Each structure stands twice: as structure tokens, then as C-alpha cells.
């Protein structure tokens, strides 16, 4: 089964059970994704910039 489709089915079930919980889940998932991605990108940037600042 397509993993995206499986996720979509779970989300649809959650929404039909409790729209409020679903809305909270949307906020938490998006916030965590944003935080996670920016942390990874910043780490990569820091590693790259420290490498270029110190030739050794």
C-alpha cells in the first residue's frame, strides 16, 4: 500500500473521530517539521561555514 495513502487514511479517520484533535495534530506536525528542517539546515550551514573558516 502507498505509504502516503495509508497516512491519508489515518488522518481522515482521526478527523471523522475528532476534528479538534485533528486540527491540533496538524499544528503539531507542521510546527515540528518546520523546527526539525530548520535545525538540520542550520547544522549543515554551521558545519559548512566552520569548514570554510578554518582551512585546517
Partner 1 sequence: MSLEYIISISWLLVLLGFVVGTLSGFFGIGGAFIMTPTLNILGFPIVYAIGTDLALMLGSSIAATVSHFRLGNVDIRLGIYMLIGTAAGVWLGKTLVFSLLASGDAETVIRLIYIILLFGLSLFMVYDYIVFITRPHLKKGNNVADTVGTGLSRMLHRLIIKPMVRLPVSGINRISVWIPVGVGMVTGFLAAFLGVGGGFIRMPALIYGLGIPTSVAIGTDLFEIIFSSAIGTFLYASEGKVHLIAAMILLLGASLGALVGSYATQHVRGMRVRLYFALTIFFAGVSVALKQLGVWRDIPFLSTVAAYLIIGVATIMMIIVVIKLILGLMTIPPQRDRQI
Under the rule (CB under 8 A), what is the footprint of partner 1?
2, 4-5, 7-8, 11, 15, 19-20, 22-24, 26-27, 29-31, 33-35, 37-39, 41-42, 45
Alpha helices, DSSP H, located in the chain: 3-17, 19-53
Spatial distance between the Cα atoms of 48 and 21, rounded to a whole number of angstroms: 40
Least distance to partner 1, CB of residue 56, Å: 19
Kindly tell me which of 20 and 56 has the beta carbon lying closer to partner 1: 20
Nearer to partner 1, 29 or 56 (CB): 29
Please name which of 44, 43, 10, 16 lies closest in space to residue 29, comparing C-alpha atoms: 10
Amino acid at each position: 500500500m502507498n505509504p502516503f495513502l495509508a497516512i491519508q487514511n489515518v488522518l481522515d479517520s482521526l478527523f471523522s473521530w475528532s476534528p479538534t484533535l485533528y486540527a491540533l495534530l496538524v499544528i503539531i506536525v507542521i510546527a515540528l517539521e518546520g523546527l526539525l528542517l530548520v535545525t538540520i539546515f542550520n547544522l549543515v550551514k554551521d558545519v559548512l561555514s566552520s569548514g570554510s573558516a578554518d582551512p585546517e
